[in-house]
Chain A
Amino acid sequence: MSAAPPGSDRPGTATGSHEPASPSPDHPGTATGSHAPASPSPDHPGTALDPIVVCRRWVDLRPSVDPLTGAVESDPRTSGASAADDAALEWALQAAEAWGTSVVAVTVGPTGSQAVLRDALAAGAARAIQVDLGSSGDAASVAAEIAAVARALSARMVLCGDMGVDRGSGAVPALVAAAMGARQALGLVDLTIDPAEPGVVTGWRRLDGGRRQHLRAQAPFVASVEGASIRLRRASLAGVLRSGGAPIEVVAATGPTGGRVPSWMPASTGPGRPRTHVVDGPDPHEPAWRRVTLLTGSGADRPALRVVHAEPVDAAHQLIAALADWGEWE
């Protein structure tokens, strides 16, 4: 499938191929088909002058939760960028170095979030912009602000972490792509940046069921990366010292109408839910009541709880034996 043209209302999807298995045709948001042509399309080549925007979100990495009320308390001292946002910065810096361009770090958040911009400046970003939206922005408005900055910078390459560590929706990168009318390559676990092909990234991403997809995205694109994809370089001492006094551009949020998020995109998201996983269904020939009991486990015999006192190695063997007994270990 070829990518949607920039400016269309529907987010483009990077071209790609699944490996080893092909995707189900109804898999949401992923591309099907084989590799895209190797050369960037002539109408949208990445140019050496395009800055790369990297998004950084300031988040408490060790929030404390009141066990009684569930209230979350965050502390600026333990706040910073997630591993995924750091990975995005590293990829952005590598791309900028390969293609001879610069990185602009953007955060949408309160004043405290400037700390993650300074980290980016220390590591090598050329410019830092804070969109002052307080801490209340939902995914759609955050995305709209990032897209507005990218547009204003004529930036056509945006890199983000794949998901906030605080149970974020993970929707921001897709929403930015939607608002920019850019291709999207989301949830990448690895990226290849070729100095000979400015404005083009190829990478792998995970799919459900252990599948992987190989993607190739050409500017304009939004790519999001997993935290484990790469480690952010250690900023040099000079970089750190310089970043302390470097100017940070603070801009006011454009407000709810400023972004171009399509109306069909969800404006807000519900609470996080664990991922579903495939459970082998019971034999369809069994009677209905039997299938229900098999699926729910209700009324099934359960092994009695047993407390084991043993040396660690012996205890581990006993645990494995018990798991095997219960059918949880092969």
Chain B
Amino acid sequence: MTAADVTRPAADAAGAAGAPPGPPLPAPAANAAADNHAPAGDFDAVVVGAGPAGSAAALVLARSGQRVCLLERGPYPGSKNMYGGVVYPRILDGLLPEWWEDAPVQRWVTRRATMTLTDDQALTIDFRTESWGRPPYNGATALRPEFDAWLAAKAVDAGAVLVTSTTATGLLRDGPGGAVTGVSTDRPDGDLRAGIVVACDGVNSFLAKQAGLHGPVDPANYTLGAKEVLAVPARTIEERFGLGPNQGADFEIIGCTGAIPGGGFLYTNRDSLAVGVVLHLPALATAGVRPEELIAGLKAHPAVAPLVAGGELVEYSAHLIPEGGYDMMPALAGAGILVAGDAAAMCLAAGIWLEGVNFAIASGMAAGEAAAAALAANDVSEQGLAGYRRRLQDGFVLQDHRRLRHAPHLLLSERVQRRYPQLACDIVEDLFTVTNPEPKPGMRRLVRRQVTASGVRLRDLAADTWRALRTFG
């Protein structure tokens, strides 16, 4: 059929001279705008937010046969989302076997380094392995607009209905204080009713707050992540970081945020670098420093500058991180509602580990399973949804969080942030400085000398070592 064969509206075609042949179409609705009614109760579940948590929840729900609507405020999944840059998608092994075949990956991380910086020193623990560059892989750099869109497309393939450019503005309830029965949105006739709402609306989760699941907000539980993306040719990246064509590097950095507790990162995309800082919110607010100044400082550091030299700034973004972990988590379920991902503070921010996406996916999957089970049992009460917490406790999400619950406090302390990096760098500098004709000092003497010079009390050092062992051990 060509353009010339398009049939006229049936009502019109009957009396029209010269109307082209062809079966008349049913008369079109006069003007659809006139008969817009929100379909009440058309969905079993509404998932709010098409980030990793939301798409994973929607995928699981759709696969279990539930009618699920995935709401996203951005024009497409991932359009509003930013992060540092490395995902650990092994959690998808069961859900999307061989996910690596079509996941939009920039580079497979085969090199991981932890850098400790002072103003003019750098101590780096650098590890690389070829095995992370082969299936089933370990971590990968990925761009969120691509990764989130890919995962959301899997949910849509499974039958979820994705509605973009639509913000959930509040919860619908079964009477005041009653069970959650859907969400209102910012569209005309925008109420969407469903058996269950899964709130995956990110770190600020207004829905979880409205549901009364969050306690009072404490800014000390949050950090602000700010990032620049610098365009650098792929070949240059590979030469500078010593990487093969698909290989990537992940540098976590400590001691680069001045008086503000936090850290930094540097990741390699295909032909760009992500460099940024993560800053403790209350300290940032009082410091009078802007995040981009700290990124500029990081980029100018002698150990970092050669890696980012000549990079053209193509993107700047910033986002909150629920750094507080286990101790800031809200109640995870209420009648008719579950909370997953950053909305439930599931992001693991424990110094050398900044893993949010895999925790979001895992919690989204658990929420999807629990919601499907509750819908099948026709019981979406708080008790009916208790399976969600059990699933998280049985898996790595709550186990890792519980074990590392003291990590944020320890890692953001002044000693870990400033004194120990200086001490470690000074010890190593002393160790490798050849002061002939003086003989080399013994290790013990050297360490003692530097500890004394740093002003760190042995008691504190011992206590922090013990805490670190308990936390990470």
Contacts and interface: CB of A to CB of B under 8 A. Distances in A.
Nearest to A145: B3
Given A102-B30, A103-B31, A51 B9 contact: yes
A149 interface: yes
A293 interface: no
B9 A153 contact: yes
A151 B4 contact: yes
A51 B13 CA distance: 11
B161 interface: yes
Interface in A89-103: 93, 96-97, 100-103
Interface in B138-165: 145, 149, 161, 163
Contact of A233 (B7, B8, B33): B33
Interface residues of A, number: 48
A169 interface: no
Interface string A111-129: 0000000000101111101
B30 A237 contact: no
A311 to B, nearest CB: 18
Nearest to B30: A102
Contacts of B75: 77-78, 80
Contacts of A145: 3
Nearest to B17: A154
Contacts, number: 139
A307 B62 CA distance: 62
Interface in A132-178: 145-146, 148-149, 151-154
A323 interface: no
A48 to B, nearest CB: 10
Interface stretch (A10-18, A219-227, A240-248): A240-248
Interface stretch (B188-196, B238-246, B356-364, B435-443): B188-196
Contacts of B34: 97, 124
Interface stretch (A34-42, A192-200, A252-260): A252-260
B31 A235 contact: no
B178 interface: no
Contacts of A125: 32
Contacts of B163: 237, 240-241, 244
Contacts of B1: 251-252
Interface centre among B29, B33, B39, B79 (most CB of A within 10 A): B33
Nearest to A152: B6
Interface centre among A100, A103, A121, A236 (most CB of B within 10 A): A236
B104 to A, nearest CB: 11
A241 B39 contact: yes
B4 A49 contact: no
B76 interface: yes
A308 to B, nearest CB: 23
Interface centre among A78, A125, A154, A251 (most CB of B within 10 A): A154
A123 B187 CA distance: 11
B12 interface: yes
A254 B190 contact: no
Interface string B34-46: 1011110010000
Interface centre among B3, B12, B18, B39 (most CB of A within 10 A): B3
B102 interface: no
Interface centre among B30, B42, B149, B192 (most CB of A within 10 A): B30
B166 interface: yes
A222 to B, nearest CB: 16
A239 B1 CA distance: 28
Contact of B4 (A50, A148, A154): A148
Nearest to B11: A49
11 contacts: A77-B75, A97-B34, A102-B29, A146-B3, A152-B4, A152-B6, A154-B8, A235-B188, A237-B189, A251-B1, A253-B3
Interface of A: 49-51, 77-78, 80, 93, 96-97, 100-104, 121, 123-127, 129, 131, 145-146, 148-149, 151-154, 233-242, 244, 249, 251-255, 258
